[in-house]
Chain A
Amino acid sequence: MPTRDVVKTGIAGLDAVLSGGIPRGNIILLEGAVGTGKTSFGVEFVYHGASKFDEPGIIVLFEVSPDKLIRDAAGFGWDLPALERDGRLKIIFTTRQVFAQELQQADSLLLEEAAKMGARRLFVDGMAGLGDGSAPGGRRRELREEFHVLVEGLQRENLTALLALELAAEPSVASLPEESIADTVIRLRKEEAQRASTRSLEIIKSRGQNFQMGRHTFRMISDRGIEVYRRVQAPREQSRERAAAFDPTTRVTTGVPGLDPIVNGGYFLGSTTVIAGISGVGKSVIACHFLAEGIRRGERSLMLTLDEQVPQVLRNAMSIGIDLQPAIDSGLVQVVYDPPQEIEVDQHFHRIEQIMEEFKPKRVVFDSLSTYAASFATDPQMFRDFFHALVALMKEHQVAAVYNNENPEMLGMSSMMGSKGMSSLVDNIILMNWIELGNMFRVGLTVAKMRANPCDRMTHECEVVNGQGMRVLDRTMLAQLPFGRYGSLLSRAPERSVVADTSAENADQRR
């Protein structure tokens, strides 16, 4: 089987979307409105070719001044003058008219320059489009023919050419004539989301290769260049799809005194656990215990927090006697904060993928699922897709993942996962509830679901002690009446159970 000769773009994340790169010699149409990033994209394509892949390149400009292009490229850390000095890059300023004529001439100066330097890549910034279809039929055919001639000229030289075409507006269903002539069509967009704006990239077509369809987010980052983040819904490696068959024996202990016996010794590796409860009920405390248990066992642990910044997480942990800082310093624990206000889902998920790949934790805590849901409130389907992808990622890495989920109900719960409708994805669900008895709130913990495990669904009392953390109480330790003396604990109106009281009194009399 012949090997594929592909041109790697070198743009972070893009070659993965393109299944390795673009077939050599393809004519690539890069289309997008003003400000979508076409010039930066094209320059980076040529820059990486010349600097990383030993493929010298030419940049042809019609309107942008080369000195401005060089200045802007420097902002991304690309030293174009150095490449020019080394003869690996030429920036040529010309007009569209001259450029079109050059490509039709056997003794073209442009192609002569390309041949002299052994150019393999060409970027032409600012191709004139064929219009929006409003041109008269005859003129339109003529324009199409001109574009065809241009493409023929480029193909003759076996250059992989990237032609940036400015779109005044999103094309309608009928594709542009340029799109049918070009081999690869990449469309850049700037999309508004509420008051924020994100950039996205879509491979419309690419002859001779497989690629991941749909809109992928990208960013332009100072000192680095463009980073493309695969659409969170895009299929990943097969290993991730097969990851559901997780290890059915190894347990990951919770670290909360009294909790492990209730959860059959711990969560399975690769399992998904949701701890649901109102704010302040102790979800983050359980998370800190989970991390501390990882430290005690020498297991790498990660906490990804949207709700509290890292210093605050450390302070909270310290208040229950858990000092995370030494473990962070030694590389055993990572606490990562991402502000939830403007989470861009593809980029955020890419970051988590990177951390998983590099840090390889065994335990992960997400604090919290409800904050993710709030961030994606305008697009509930996006939240579901993200959570699906997250669960698959955690299973692929065989991680015991714990997701805190704030339930808005102060007393009792009418739904385990609120309106998210995600409980089928979750292996274990632990409910944390305030229970009002007498003049105080006590905390009840109920293991409501434990997939592939026995589960008594009994509500246990637990307490958080300053400087010590949480423990699930043994009923015999209670000075007050145990939960067993009450009925309807989660109904928001618990009542003393007459049957239970009578049994207890009989037991006292027997003594």
Chain B
Amino acid sequence: MQHEQVHRLLDRFAVLRDPCDLDLMLFFVRHPRALLSSDQIAALLGYPVERLGDSLDALVTANLLSRTQKPNGVARMYVFADRVAPDWLSSLVELASTRAGRLALRNALEDRRKGEPTVRGYAAGSDKKPESN
């Protein structure tokens, strides 16, 4: 897929602004109902907990993910709303299923992050936002 095509796809999926967002979304495509703590998801995906917390918030805000509110528990039930997700999700998943496609998406997201001085209220590239679990 050409560079422009990747960007066009991401334009339609504005919730993805960071490689972590992409990896997290792909994780929930594979595990649409997960009972985990954010620490565990972060460990599985290899991201700092703070960065991952932000991606979780982004997916929840975009109504792609629901999570139970359980103040005392270690884990939360995350349910990915793939059935209500737009049909372009399948295009994205297909593209990300190859190494080349995944790299193209990640590079495009990196480009976007660099081009946006602030993302969702904290500095791009920073992992300092408090974890929101």
Chain A residues with a Cβ under 8 A of chain B: 65-67, 85, 90-95, 98-99, 101-102, 105, 107, 109-110, 113
Per the 8 Å Cβ criterion, residues 60-74 of B in contact with A are 68, 70, 72-74
Whether a CB of chain A sits under 8 angstroms from the CB of B34 is yes
- Cβ A94 vs Cβ B75 within 8 A: yes
Could you tell me if A113 and B77 are in contact, using CB atoms closer than 8 angstroms?
Answer: yes
Specify which of A65, A66, A90, A93 lies most central, judged by the most chain B CB atoms within 10 Å of its CB: A93
Does B31 lie within 8 Å of A98, measured CB to CB? no
**Are A66 and B35 in contact (CB-based, < 8 A)?**
no
A109-B33 in contact (CB<8A): no
Judge whether B83 and A85 touch: CB under 8 Å: yes
Given A98-B40, A101-B74, A109 and B30 contact (CB-CB distance below 8 Å): no
Q: Are B83 and A94 in contact, CB atoms less than 8 angstroms apart? A: no
Q: What is the bound-complex CA distance between A93 and B40, given in angstroms?
A: 12
Q: Is the CB of B75 within 8 A of A92?
A: no
Instruction: Given A85-B83, A109-B68, A109-B70, answer yes or no on A93-B33 (Cβ-Cβ < 8 Å).
Output: yes
B11 to chain A, nearest CB (A): 27
* Contact, CB under 8 Å: A67 / B74: no
Q: Which of A67, A85, A109 contacts B77 (CB 8 A)?
A: A109
Interface centre among A94, A101, A105 (most CB of B within 10 A): A94
Number of interface residues of B (CB under 8 A): 19
Please state if B74 and A98 are interface contacts (CB–CB under 8 Å): yes
Count contacts between A and B, CB distance < 8 Å.
53
A and B contact pairs by CB, cutoff 8 A, 23 listed: A66-B30, A67-B30, A85-B83, A90-B33, A91-B32, A92-B33, A92-B77, A93-B31, A93-B36, A94-B36, A95-B36, A98-B35, A98-B37, A98-B75, A101-B75, A102-B35, A102-B75, A109-B35, A109-B68, A109-B73, A109-B75, A109-B77, A113-B77
User: Is B15 part of the binding interface, using a Cβ–Cβ cutoff of 8 Å?
Assistant: no
B76 lies within 8 A of chain A by Cβ = yes
Considering the complex, give the chain B residue whose CB is closest to the CB of A91: B33
Q: How distant is the Cα of A98 from the Cα of B74 in the complex, in angstroms?
A: 7
Contact with A along B74-99 (1 / 0, CB 8 A): 11110000010000000000000000
CB-CB < 8 A to B9: which residues of A?
none
Nearest CB of chain B from residue A61's CB, rounded to whole Å: 8
CB–CB B36/A98 < 8 A: yes
Q: Is the CB of A105 within 8 A of B73?
A: yes
Q: Contact check: which of B29, B73, B75 meets A107 at CB < 8 Å?
A: B73
CA distance A486 to B72 in the complex (A): 101
Say how far B24's CB is from chain A's closest CB, in angstroms.
14
C-alpha gap A85/B83 in the complex (Å): 9
Which residues from A are CB-within-8-Å of B29?
A: 67
Q: Which residue of A lies closest to B29 (CB)?
A: A67
Chain A residues with CB under 8 Å of B73's CB are: 105, 107, 109
User: Complex: how many Å from CA A105 to CA B31?
Assistant: 23
Contacts of A109 in B (CB 8 A): 35, 68, 70, 73, 75-77
**Minimum distance in angstroms from B95 CB to a CB of chain A:** 16
- Nearest chain A CB to B110 CB, angstrom units: 26
Contacts of B36 in A (CB 8 A): 93-95, 98
